[in-house]
Amino acid sequence: MLPDLFGPENRRRCIERLGRLRGYPVYRKPISTSAVLIPLCLVQNVPSILFLQRSGHLRTHPSEIGFPGGKCDITDEDVVHTALRETYEELGIAPNSVDVWARLPRFDARSTIYPVLGFCGHLDLSSYESDLHSTSVTSGGQRLHLNPDEVSNVFARSIDWLSSPENLFYSEFRLHSTFFLLPETAGRLDSHPDAHSLQPHQVRYTLPAFGSHPLTGSVGPRIWGLTAIMAYYVLSSLLPHGLSCSDDVSSRLLPLLGRKSLHFDEH
């Protein structure tokens, strides 16, 4: 991997590319607003992205893989402040040690989520999992202090690992209800002329996933859902030549960069 991947020139190019991503139009007031930090980092001098596994005792999304973050407080200055505050509370990474690069377009799930991309410098993950083989060798980076009430584990995936065609897959889903297609409710797919006549089984969407299903022999947690989408956007903008993957995966995931991931079956 290029040693200057997190250098000033590539930083500028990545921010410029992320700025071209189009956000979704706002059709309704969100129930709640959250922010997450996508932590770029160096682990043993290897460019990586840091992920966490949520505590199994949490009421929402227990044990799921994600990024540090949480709900916005009224005392937060903005979503960047929220992302940095939550990262410190969950992982012990000081806000002043994070070089904030950019804010990605918002995502709507159960709450509206604002991803923030930042570089956390050198991290010492010798006590945790990564795809690097020499995890017993530390680089003198910042050590993490996990909040056990919120985080059960952390792990790093190198940019090399994440960008390898062998590790990039896709998950395909079908909508259970056409409720999400109605523009007067959630605003999805309002430009499709047959939105009101489509049946749930006729609408499917494709999302990226990193790491194969355990049945295929892959070791370690699979990165999927919104976390994988965010990582996919970042990698597509961070890598000078974009992500390389099979034609089948590429044809399905490329529309994501235009914020279009829905597909339709014939009536």
Task: Look up the CATH number of the domain holding residue 54.
Answer: 3.90.79.10
pLDDT, position 129: 58
C-alpha distances (whole Å) from 15 to each of 6, 41, 78, 195 are 11, 16, 19, 35
- Listed in sequence order, the DSSP H helices in the chain are 8-18, 79-91, 159-163, 225-238, 247-253
pLDDT above 80: residue 60: no
Give 230-259 pLDDT, tens digit per residue: 999 999 999 988 776 555 555 555 455 554
What is the Cα–Cα distance from 149 to 174, expressed in whole angstroms? 34
Domain membership of residue 137 (yes or no) is: yes
Of residues 240 and 131, the one with the higher pLDDT is 240
The parent domain of residue 204 ranges over: 163-264
Name the domain count of the chain. 2
pLDDT above 50: residue 17: yes
Q: Which of 136, 161, 186 is the last residue of a domain?
A: 161
What is the Cα–Cα distance from 171 to 59, expressed in whole angstroms? 25
Residues 107 and 216 grouped into a single domain: no
Q: How far apart are the first and last CA of the chain?
A: 47
Domain membership of residue 2 (yes or no) is: no
C-alpha distances (whole Å) from 180 to each of 60, 108, 112 are 21, 11, 15
Q: What's the mean per-residue pLDDT of the chain?
A: 77
Domain membership of residue 1 (yes or no) is: no
Residues 109 and 198 grouped into a single domain: no
pLDDT above 60: residue 34: yes
> What's the pTM value of the predicted model, to 2 decimals?
0.80
- Highest average pLDDT, of 61-75, 121-135, 161-175, 248-262, comes from 61-75
